[in-house]
Structure 1
Amino acid sequence: MVDKNEIKGAAKELGGKVKSAAGRATGDREMEADGKLDQVEGKTQKNYGKVKDAVKDQTGAH
């Protein structure tokens, strides 16, 4: 089962990619940086969800 953090993290990561690309395309460095930050936050949240899910699988806690 996919943890909700994986889904939310993937969505935030994707949104960050879009924001970063938009910032790059318009020359808005702040938007580009915010997008990169969102990507990192999303990836971190997604990985947290994966680890949480793996721990549940190993411990049998569902």
Structure 2
Amino acid sequence: MQFLDLEFVADQFQQYADSDPVHWNSEEGCIKFGETPVFYKRFDDHFEIEIDGVTMEIPRI
């Protein structure tokens, strides 16, 4: 299993999820960071991501 920095992933979502429709193009889905799948759901004011069973809410900026 590859270690993935949750803060790095959260930062990527805040920076790019609303401005890069090619990679984040739906209300929910899965994006791979390296070999690690990151499942996400988009809400009006935040994202919810799940990595290896750990769920985290990230505010939308």
Query: Is this a same-fold pair by TM over 0.5?
Result: no
- Greater RCO, CA 8 A, separation 6+: 1
Q: 1 or 2, which has the higher helix percentage?
A: 1
Whichever of the two has the greater Rg, that structure is 1
Q: 1 or 2, which has the higher strand percentage?
A: 2
